[in-house]
Structure 1
Amino acid sequence: MSTAAGTILPATKGPIVNRVEATSAIETAALRSDRFRLEREGEWKRLETILGAMEKGRLRRLSDDDVLALPALYRMAASSLAVARETSLDASTLAYLESLVQRAWFQVYGPRVGFYRWFGKFLGGKLSQSVRDIWLDICIAFAVMIAGTIVGWLVVARDQEWFYTLVPAEFADSRQPGASREVLLETLKVEESASGMSAFAAQLFTNNSSVCILAFALGFAFGIPSLLLLVQNMALLGAFLWLYNSQGLLPEFSAWLAVHGTTEFFAIMLSSAAGIHIGRKMAFPGRRSILSAASEAGQRGAQVMVGVVLMLIFAAVLEAFPRQLASTETRGLIGGFMLIFWLTYFFAFGRNREAEAA
């Protein structure tokens, strides 16, 4: 349109130009996104195929090349995701890459075994290895156990009033100084039925586990409370050994005790050793920081405590059933077998694998 003043441009030209530029920008971005995806889509698809097979438990169907290529493909996908975020590519590509990278990370770095496989490996060597790693603390705990038992025996033999100090009232009942041979022998008798034994086993497990957990938990104070608790419990045992020996019943009492005692006292020794291990590492951290040394010792001690809990469950069953229902000879055989079993499992089992790995 023309006037005397000159030519006037149409009023709609500005918006039209803006729309054209916006359309061009969108097409350019789409083209860039398509090109980006086409250049790398082959690697993504291969990674997705490998992940699909692994997630379905078909790892054996993958070739060696695919397994070896997994870490590199994961890094390429992660790099692609970083570029896609930086250049603001389309939302569908971003969502696809985020999902792909998350799945790949889980397969490359995440846990790849279920609970049952982990538990099998734990019992198949990791537990015994953790126990062997704290062998020095086990030696300390064992020495303290022997010393505590001897002290309990000697102090009661010298003054019988110490028996009532060392032995709680709920444990003493008819088993106390001055009791006749017949009364003490009655406490070792063989039961005729297993009625009510399940509840008894649960009670025993609760009592024993509280002692073990306390011995482990007190280890942070440089292991001293764990040692004191160990002395207290073993002095109680020494007092009972003296009592039954005074009536000539030490073999019968030892067999009665061995059924569950070789498992129960082993568990108490391990829990105390785990607590001592933490305290010793805190007191002598070496070149590491105290927190770092305590953290590592705590992880090792926690693995030992898992084994202790399993042992206590087993000890409670032995204490409630074979101990109450078996004869003296059978009790001794069961106790001896359990001692050999635990020694073999903790200090011999799995050593060949460690040597091969080394």
Structure 2
Amino acid sequence: MREVAFIKQNKQKWLNFEKTIYNNQFKNPDELSSLYIQLMNDLSYAQTYYPKSKTISYLNQLAAAAFQRIYRTKRTKTNRFISFWKTEVPLIMFEYRRYVFYAFLIFGAFITIGAVSAAYDDSFVRLILGDGYVNETLENIEKGDPVAIYKSGSNWGSFIGITVNNLYVGMLCFVFGVFGGIGTGYVLMVNGIMIGAFQYFFYDQGVLWESVRGIWIHGSMEIFAIGIEGAAGLILGASILFPKTYSRMASFKMGLKTGIKILISTFPFTFMAGFLEGFVTRYSNTMPNWLSVGIILVTLGLISFYYLIYPHIVHKKLRTHVPTI
């Protein structure tokens, strides 16, 4: 069968399936399970005969959405909290993985702009970071402790203050997506340029390694989380600009719900980053290199695995196993 005929034959069924899934119109879990099996059959057929078709991506998205609904209505003793982190969030991340790519691409571009601007304009770092921060850090560098600024205040005070600020930035990154994603881009721009200028400043002073082994103890999770929150904001913006087959309001509600779930999923990592900044980073100049580097690699590996690798593992299980209700 030609792909055009295959699509024409099943298009209406798939559109009805979309409405059934996203509007919760199924009468019982058995009906949903039956629809899911039909969809998986169509997906398998498309993968066999049209391996390079966009139809596969479309059916994958429907399958992921159906899988979430099935797990949400399964009559098991599975803890809802556990299933949220173990299944629901990873499937969302897989479905919207291109938005994660867009967010990190935008974020990375602005980090580069910040570093290049600092390299070609001596006044740029002071403009972005402020005279107070620059002067204090220069004094600390002269004293042999470039990251001494992170040792001010109490452990708990630093932890709470930093965590609240990071949560605020993450929420802004998501909520500003309501402006068609432009607001999210602005938040990523501000933070990206600041990070780029910040790191170049330490490089220019000849203490890049000292800054990396200290600041990125907490920065790995902190910065990565902002990228994920940026993806949530872009999803919200896209739901308004590109409603597809739904009304704009219905699409917005789905985008809002999806984005909130992604935002919530970053909170544990934000709390962990705040804890590390308040209780660990301040001791970076006294700990051996292997320990600081180890913490950086473990934290970066953990958050990267959860958002970039684990979603593919969960999705693979989705394709090879049809759950029963």
Asked whether the two chains share a fold, i.e. TM above 0.5, the reply is yes
Partner residue of 2:237?
279
Q: Which residue does the alignment assign to 1:336?
A: 297
Q: In percent, how many aligned pairs have the same letter?
A: 20
Match of 1:207 in 2: 165
Question: How far 1:332 sits from its partner (Å)?
Answer: 1.8
Paired residue for 1:121?
83
2:146–2:211 Cα contact (<8 Å) kept: no
Unaligned stretches of 5+ in structure 1? 1-67, 69-108
Which residue is equivalent to 2:119?
157
SS at match of 2:79: helix
Q: 1:310 aligns with which of 248, 261, 268?
A: 268
Is the aligned partner of 1:182 residue 2:142?
yes
Stretches of structure 2 lacking an aligned partner (at least 5 in a row):
1-29, 31-71
**Conserved in 2, the CA contact under 8 Å of 1:138 and 1:273?**
yes
Contact 1:277 1:301 in 2 (8 A): yes
Secondary structure of the corresponding residue to residue 244 of structure 2: coil
Q: Tell me the residue number matched to 1:259.
A: 217
Structure 1 Cα separation of the partners of residues 112 and 137 of structure 2 = 19
After superposing on structure 2, the runs of 4+ consecutive aligned residues of structure 1 that deviate more than 3 Å are 109-114, 168-173, 189-192
Paired residue total? 246
Q: 1:256-308: CA deviations, max 9, x gaps?
A: 12211111111111111101111012111122211111111111111111111
Contact 2:140–2:147 under 8 Å retained in 1: no
CA, structure 1 residues 321+222, in 2 after alignment: closer, same or farther (shift >3 Å)?
Answer: same
User: Structure 1 residues 311, 243: CA separation in 2 closer, same or farther (over 3 Å shift)?
Assistant: same
Correspondence for 2:255: 297
1:170, distance to aligned residue in structure 2 (A): 6.2
Q: Alpha-carbon deviation of 1:218?
A: 0.5
Instruction: Judge conservation of contact 1:263–1:338 (CA < 8 Å) in 2.
Output: yes
Aligned equivalents of 2:297, 2:279: Cα separation in 1: 17
Question: 1:166, 1:232 within 8 Å by CA — same for their partners in 2?
Answer: no
Letter paired with 1:260: H
- Greater relative contact order structure (CA < 8 Å, 6+ sep): 2
In 1, the alpha carbon distance for the partners of 2:92 and 2:114 equals 31
Q: Deviations over 1:165-193 (max 9, x none)?
A: 211466445126xx68434x42335999x
- For 1:210 and 1:262, how far apart are their aligned partners in 2? 18
Contact preservation (8 Å) 1:215, 1:272:
yes
Instruction: Map 1:1-358; keep pairs closer than 5 Å.
Output: 117-168=79-130, 171-172=133-134, 174-175=136-137, 181-183=141-143, 185-188=144-147, 196-326=154-284, 327=287, 328-349=289-310, 350-357=314-321
Amino acid at match of 2:94: R
Question: Which one has the largest radius of gyration?
Answer: 1
Q: Is the 8 A contact 2:150 2:281 kept in 1?
A: no
Aligned with 1:302: secondary structure? helix
Cα distance, 1:153 vs structure 2: 1.2
Q: Greater shift after overlay, 161-170 or 256-265?
A: 161-170
User: Residue type of the partner of 1:353?
Assistant: K
Note the aligned Cα RMSD (angstroms): 2.9
8 Å Cα contact 1:190/1:325 also seen in 2: no
Please give the alpha-carbon distance, in whole angstroms, between the structure 2 residues aligned to 1:258 and 1:131.
Answer: 24
Change (3 A) 1:165 1:189: closer
Residues 220, 275 of structure 1: 8 Å contact kept: yes
Post-superposition offset of 1:111? 9.8
Q: Distance between the aligned counterparts of 2:150 and 2:189, measured in 1?
A: 32
Cα deviations across residues 40-99 of structure 1 (Å, max 9, x unaligned)?
A: xxxxxxxxxxxxxxxxxxxxxxxxxxxx9xxxxxxxxxxxxxxxxxxxxxxxxxxxxxxx
Determine the C-alpha separation between the residues in 2 that align with 1:152 and 1:284. Answer: 31
Q: Answer whether contact 2:181 2:234 (CA < 8 A) is retained.
A: yes
Deviation at residue 355 of structure 1 after TM alignment: 2.7
TM-score (norm 2): 0.68
Q: In the alignment, is the contact (CA less than 8 A) between 1:215 and 1:230 conserved in 2?
A: yes
Contact 1:258 1:336 in 2 (8 A): no
In structure 1, what is the Cα distance between the partners aligned to 2:302 and 2:290?
18
Q: Matches of 2:132 and 2:91 in 1, distance apart?
A: 38
Cα contact 2:225–2:266 (8 A) shared by 1: yes
Alpha carbons 1:322, 1:331 under 8 Å: kept: no
* 1:4 aligned residue: none
